[in-house]
Amino acid sequence: MLAAGVLAAGCGSPETGERVEPDDKLGVDYRRLGGEGFIDQTITIRSSYSVVVALTLRFEPLDESGEPLPGLRVETAYGSDEGRLLIPPDGSLDILAFRGKGARRVRDVRTTVAQLKSSVGEPPDDPIEAEPLNAAGQEVDYTVPFASVRLLNPNPVPVDVRAVAILYERPPPGAAQQFLSVASLSGLREVPANGEVEVEIPKKELKATRGYAGWGSVKAYLSR
């Protein structure tokens, strides 16, 4: 559910690109249950702009009657609520988690565009892959300890990305699965066109990659 957007003051600075007014070119859909093999509690951000856009979203959790659930805190895996996530012309997604009493009652989310602006650079057509590597530089499954991450860009244009490791809970039967924590693996990195970058995981984040045991994932996303 997407509410009418309100553009924040000063968001059209020359350093960050031309201001883009929220309109019917942008939509946000919330999906509570992803189904077998898919992530729960995602938002799909649809964009028909011809440029990459940076946005800041605000979320209001709703119950099964469509009424607001006050007192809940909403967290995102990719930072769409902090302006970090970039949206290419074919759209993107983010993952939500709800914290506080009544978090299991969330059935929908009202989304407001707080800030929207165009970004620099050519839009990529294909997603960036993140491969966990062990100390010997060999690709491993994310369910075993890894020491670095390889970022692969199949596009003919360079891209700026961040890589994260997401740890999920074991949800009660019938409940949506929430992420418990998000560990930053790379910070903001430029990956060259049709190229790759290997990033050593910061020591403070290594512990966060140890206990995933099939309940985590490693992802890369377009960012600034």
pLDDT above 60 (res 15):
no
Contact 110, 3 (CB under 8 A): yes
Q: Which two tokens stand for residue 16?
A: 């960050």
Please give the CATH number for the structural domain made up of 26-118: 2.60.40
Tell me how far the alpha carbon of residue 174 is from its chain's centroid: 24
What digits encode the pLDDT tens for the residues 62-110? 999 999 999 999 999 999 999 999 999 989 999 999 999 999 999 999 9
Helical spans, DSSP H, in the chain: 203-206
Domain ranges across the chain: 26-118, 129-222
Across the range 196-204, mean pLDDT stands at: 89
Contact 105, 32 (CB under 8 A): no
